Structure 1
Amino acid sequence: MTQLSTSGVMPEIGTLRLCFYGAGSMAEAIVRGLLDRGLTIPDKIGMMNRQNAERLDELSGRYGIITAADEASKQSMLQKADLIFLAMKPKDAAEAIKLLRSSIRADQIIVSLVAGMSIDTIESLLQKKTAVIRTMPNTSSTIGLGATGISFSSSVTEGQRLLADQMFQSIGLTAVVEEPMLDVVTGISGSGPAYIYYVMEAMIEAGRKLGLSEETARELTVQTVLGSAHMVRATNETPADLRRKVTSPNGTTQAAIETLDAHHFTQAIIAAVSRAAERAGEMGTEIERVAKS
């Protein structure tokens, strides 16, 4: 057990014991990212879940991390940890966090991956003020290309903020925002991959209906989306500027863009992101109601 710094100095990740309460794909993505970047070693990482011992064995075999299946091992792992990652399903989170009350020390850091659960709710369930880092990663984190929104409780030090940023940069890009803005992050990047997949589905279907084979339409669509994203990153130009460069007057692209505009494409995307953000808030309110009942 390492004494965590309460100053602005960032503790070394490799000196800390990490405990993941939950063994899903996002927890695995973080473990993989930390190990691939050489930020820590398997012996410093513990993982536990409610009852899926087979999943724990799978991850232990794949990464060499420590796992805990029985209650005594779980309690020991929690008590020795410097950082505890709440990586359980939202429906299980409130009950699981209540059970942590007797195990949590004042100097431990809580890192939440639970969608919709506020810092206030976490502290209420723990019945104490503590350093809580709330995050909103997306599914692309599983391949190291994620986008993670991060917010902090008032107890989090500057050094701990830097630590969180470094950890989540191991699975992609990070954006530190005020907690209410995490709902917007959810609407843009949390749910965002699904919007892109939806557009890709439509492009593939269009190609198929116009005579291409399914395989050819898919390959062309995937490469087009990949190349477009890389163009934005590589050139540092805005998507609007790059779009205008592709759009010749009276050409094919202009005809396509005019068709999208006629179907209110931009307004539909804005409405979709807004609705996703609104729904994130609704889910958070419901989680809070259940947690405090």
Structure 2
Amino acid sequence: MTNSTSSPLRGVRLCFYGAGSMAEAILRGLVEPKLAKPGSISVMNRQNAERLRELSSRYGVVPADTDDMKSAALTSADVVVLGMKPKDAAGAIRALKPLLRPDQLVVSLIAGLSISTIHQLLGREQPVVRTMPNTSSTIGLGATGISFSEGVSAERRELALTMFGAIGMTAVVEEPLIEAVNGVSGSGPAYVYYLMEAMIDAGVRLGLTPEAAKALTVQTVRGAAEMVLVTDEDPEQLRRKVTSPNGTTEAAIQTLERFEFRDAMIQAIVRCAERAREMGDSIREEAAKL
């Protein structure tokens, strides 16, 4: 395990603007394996000081819960992580303009917010890392898509990859593909949970207790994912191996095909990506008004 003496984050000062679950996942990923020093990490939000104290108690990070502390945290940071809600993003980022130095690295966790819109709001081409993590990051099993603005150096790219590698796997993609990442993995856990809900409901309908149906479903989904990882086989190959001609699995798959399960999933993921672009358009339009 990389520690604070060899981590690219050693000596780097970070400021998290936003203290939600994703910010906490990253904090945990950095602090617990000692990739960064808690005293070098400041956390701020709009008004929930209790949440900041909670994170400080849990991870040893520095709560910036007054206007003076917020300004100091922002101006002194090497990396500013934007984790506010999309609806608040334009106004909050515009307010940061006089506080940020042109050399500071900005890391965005905000769905739909493009690098060009961040530049527009700041009035300059700040070094920006745009990311799309997912909620599995909270247990260190996240999947994060990452894009970089032209001004991000190789050293800072490594720093960003270390940050998000601490909470799972990373995939560097061109920025126009970040919405695709949102569709596939950003919202992906919800699709799996939705499938699990249906599996549990079916089990109960067939006579299992809710507890047994849940336990069997959870282990089945976990085992299936692990099989793909361990064998390195395509899901299609693994599916075919357990689908005997005229067997029970084939009957189930044929039923899914009759209800156009695959097409429904593809359309859902495409719609998710479209919605991310729509949210980005809204932020850009609001930015133009400021």
**TM-score (normalised: structure 1):** 0.95
Residue 11 of structure 1: how far off its partner (Å): 8.2
1:267 matched to 2:263 = yes
User: What is the match of residue 20 of structure 1?
Assistant: 16
Does 1:136 find its partner at 2:146? no
**Once the two structures are superposed, what CA deviation does each residue of 1:164-196 show, in whole Å capped at 9, x if it has no partner?**
111101000111111110110000001111110
Q: Which amino acid aligns with 1:213?
A: T
Q: Distance in 2 between matches of 1:284 and 1:123?
A: 14
1:147 counterpart = 2:146: no
Q: Deviations over 1:141-165 (max 9, x none)?
A: 1111111011111111112112111
- 1-structure distance, mates of 2:148, 2:243: 43
Whole-Å separation in 2 of the counterparts to 1:177 and 1:12: 21
One-letter amino acid of the structure 1 residue matched with residue 142 of structure 2: G
Equivalent position of 1:62 in the other structure:
58
What residue number does 1:201 align with?
197
Structure 2 gap ranges (5+): 1-5
Q: 2:214 & 2:7 partners in 1: Cα distance?
A: 46
Partner of 1:107: 103
Q: Secondary structure at the match of 1:14?
A: coil
The alpha-carbon deviation at position 36 of structure 1 amounts to: 2.1
Tell me how many residue pairs correspond in the alignment: 284
Match of 1:91 in 2: 87
CA RMSD of aligned residues (A): 1.1
Give 1:253's match in structure 2, choosing from 241, 245, 249: 249
Per-residue CA shift, 1:225-249, capped at 9, x if unaligned?
0000000001111101110111111
Correspondence list, 1:215-254, <5 A: 215-254=211-250
Q: Deviations over 1:191-231 (max 9, x none)?
A: 11111011100000000011111110010000000000000
1:55-113 Cα offsets, whole Å, 9 max, x none, are: 01111111111011111111111111000000111111111111111111122100001
Question: Partner residue of 1:4?
Answer: none
Is the 2:7–2:36 Cα contact (8 Å) retained in structure 1? no
Query: Could you tell me the TM-score, scaled by structure 2's length?
Result: 0.96
* Percent of pairs with identical residues: 59
Query: For the residues of structure 2 that align with 1:121 and 1:206, how far apart are their CA atoms?
Result: 46
- Which ranges of 4 or more aligned residues in structure 1 deviate by more than 2 Å? none
